Structure 1
Amino acid sequence: MNITAEQAARSHETRSDLMLGVSVALMAVGSLLVAGRLYCRRLIRSTGLDDISAVLALAFLIACGASIADMTRHGLGRHDWTLSLDQIVLYGRCFWLSVLFYTISLSFCKITFLLQYLRIMNVSRMRWVYIGSIVFLSIWSAITIVGICTLCIPLEAFWDPRIKGRCFKDQTLMWYINGIMHIVVDFAIIVMPLPIVWKLKLPLSQKLWLSGIFGLGFFTIAISILRLQWLTPEKDFTWWNVTAASWSLAELVSGIACSCLSTFKPLLKKVNGWVPTLRSGESTHILHGIATDDSDRIAVVELEDAPYGSRLQIPNSAHAFGTETSITASKGVYEAERKLRKSSKSSINKNEP
């Protein structure tokens, strides 16, 4: 292979170690986030399908990161004119695997959000919106995966130029369509619960806090938009792809972070004491759920004199989902409680001889 004097002068350059370090660091961050989520679920003795989906998102994140890390052994971070044909073939195969695992992990990140909505907010009208969104996202992801698996026929022609095959010509267009679709879906997922949150009879500060938790997804959207500029490959692909691969892993970790951080309140209680905790056996008024009637009217479900850690039993006539995160009752609840106690004391005093 003939190379220019400029290429010869740059042949020693490498970003492989940088890419390897970024991959390991982001996989570690993702693992810690999901481990924290599972630990918090264990503290409240409650797990659900959203937790399983988060674990699957992490599993395919690690698979994607491992594929990218393996690509550094075959030329990622080096200039393509320094690589042999065998190295390019091995690099191409790892690249295809990373794209496949990235797509699956990203889909599970979004499904985790939707399953979490089903878990903590049960408004009959929105319930079907969440379920429909999960079905749509699953179908779209399946179509994308089929497309990735049929980029070339036979598939080996995608990474081995020595194999003749028929390949999809507009692959870059396919990546752009998929990327834009995921941005649109992300935006829809973020705004879905906001109308319900703002209908809750809660102080403004708590509404803003809940909206902020859901709004963390805008950070993922920002990364996805930035990543779009790296979807058009350059000629020196193995050198250029370091930035694109880094943004892809960052996007996955951001999605996992946004879906996990909202579950960390029990951990804050236990470790840092940022939220007041209750010792076993004490009693309080704790809001554990949101119930709705057939008219989709949101109602506060309150459990009086409940020992810490007990579960709320919802009447079968109400559509309800229990939440693992208690929401502080509004001022009116405590006013009613004080009046009730004052009335009880007055009755006792009257009955005393």
Structure 2
Amino acid sequence: MERPFSVFHYGGTTSYDAHGGRRSRDIPAGEAGSGLGGGGLHRLHHHTDHDGRPAPHREAHSESGHGWERLVFSNALQAVSIVSVVQCGVGLSNADVVPKYGFGPIIKFLKVLVVQQILWAVSLSLCKIAILLLYSKIFATRAMVMAARIMAGFTAVWTVITVLIAFFICRPLSDNWLLDLKNRNCGNQPAADGTMGVLNMITDIAVLVMPISYLWKLRLETYKKVALIVTFSLGVL
């Protein structure tokens, strides 16, 4: 005789009998933390076919290709940063660079800075959105899913605005690396950078604190709760 099996999630469990029939039972949020051997945060994702039978392998296949875009943009950002150090003298004083190499490295750095800003915004937002999607799967409550979607949308809008600022704050684009400040046709770059930086910090803090209340409700010893919160915080940072 085939044994029934269960799919655990935050706040409840769904059981399947040997014939694919589904039985549901709600579990208090605290008790959910002791599911699957007391690990606290384990959750098995499960899809069913149209006839209601379990199809556990489908999700594993659908998620296997995720993450490549974050890897591409993050590595591109690191490559551009290395180029700015090696080719543009980043980290050195202008008084050391200009007498020896002229203004060429500075102009090159200002060009690289435009690309760097775009790659930084895109790679950072992709990482945040990935974390938010993870939250919505681990803590599958209506409030968390809604909050994760709102934060992901806000992060996406922030990214688009940051990229547009990089492209359009100076017109023409070449004014970004024009050394003659009097003839540059640029907007208030310090104000724009400061505003986007503050908004970025707000999203960082929001992503950092979102799971804390859920982790604290788990039926675990206090030191384990603190350890989980610290682990999640380090992952976000």
Structure 1 contact 152–166 (Cα < 8 Å) conserved: yes
In the superposition, the TM-score normalised over structure 1's length comes to 0.44
2:200 is aligned with 1:182: yes
Change (3 A) 1:79 1:190: closer
Distance in 2 between residues matched to 1:109 and 1:162, nearest whole Å: 37
2:105 is aligned with 1:92: no
SS at match of 2:219: coil
Identical-residue share of aligned pairs (%):
24
Structure 2 contact 208–236 (Cα < 8 Å) conserved: no
Change (3 A) 1:89 1:50: farther
Distance in 1 between residues matched to 2:102 and 2:117, nearest whole Å: 23
Distance in 2 between residues matched to 1:127 and 1:103, nearest whole Å: 24
Change (3 A) 1:215 1:69: closer
In the superposition, the TM-score normalised over structure 2's length comes to 0.63
> Which residue in 1 is equivalent to 2:146?
128
> Which residue in 1 is equivalent to 2:83?
70
- Pairwise mapping of residues 292-331 of structure 1 onto structure 2 (< 5 A)? none
Change (3 A) 1:47 1:149: farther
> Which residue in 2 is equivalent to 1:214?
232
Distance in 1 between residues matched to 2:83 and 2:230, nearest whole Å: 37
Structure 1 contact 114–189 (Cα < 8 Å) conserved: yes
- Alpha-carbon deviation of 1:205? 4.0
Distance in 2 between residues matched to 1:58 and 1:86, nearest whole Å: 31
Distance in 2 between residues matched to 1:188 and 1:161, nearest whole Å: 39
- Deviation track 1:253-287 (CA, whole Å, cap 9, x = no partner) reads xxxxx159xxxxxxxxxxxxxxxxxxxxxxxxxxx
- Alpha-carbon deviation of 1:95? 2.0
Identify the match of residue 156 of structure 1 among 171, 174, 177: 174
Structure 1 contact 65–98 (Cα < 8 Å) conserved: no
Structure 1 contact 57–108 (Cα < 8 Å) conserved: yes
> Which residue in 2 is equivalent to 1:56?
69
Distance in 1 between residues matched to 2:63 and 2:159, nearest whole Å: 18
Structure 1 contact 74–91 (Cα < 8 Å) conserved: yes
Identify the match of residue 117 of structure 1 among 114, 135, 139: 135
Structure whose alpha-carbon radius of gyration is higher? 1
> Which residue in 2 is equivalent to 1:106?
124
Change (3 A) 1:49 1:156: farther
> In the comparison of the two structures, how many residue pairs are matched?
174
Give 5+ residue unaligned stretches, structure 2.
1-56
> Which residue in 2 is equivalent to 1:166?
185
Residue type at the aligned position of 2:71: L
SS at match of 1:52: coil
Structure 1 contact 153–167 (Cα < 8 Å) conserved: yes
Distance in 1 between residues matched to 2:64 and 2:200, nearest whole Å: 19
Distance in 1 between residues matched to 2:158 and 2:169, nearest whole Å: 16
Distance in 1 between residues matched to 2:131 and 2:75, nearest whole Å: 19
Distance in 2 between residues matched to 1:122 and 1:115, nearest whole Å: 10
> Which residue in 1 is equivalent to 2:161?
143
Distance in 2 between residues matched to 1:199 and 1:74, nearest whole Å: 51
Residue type at the aligned position of 1:151: I
SS at match of 2:146: helix
Indicate the structure whose relative CO is greater, using CA pairs within 8 Å and at least 6 residues apart: 1
Distance in 2 between residues matched to 1:121 and 1:187, nearest whole Å: 18
SS at match of 2:66: helix
Distance in 2 between residues matched to 1:157 and 1:49, nearest whole Å: 43
Distance in 2 between residues matched to 1:166 and 1:49, nearest whole Å: 46
> Which residue in 2 is equivalent to 1:13?
none
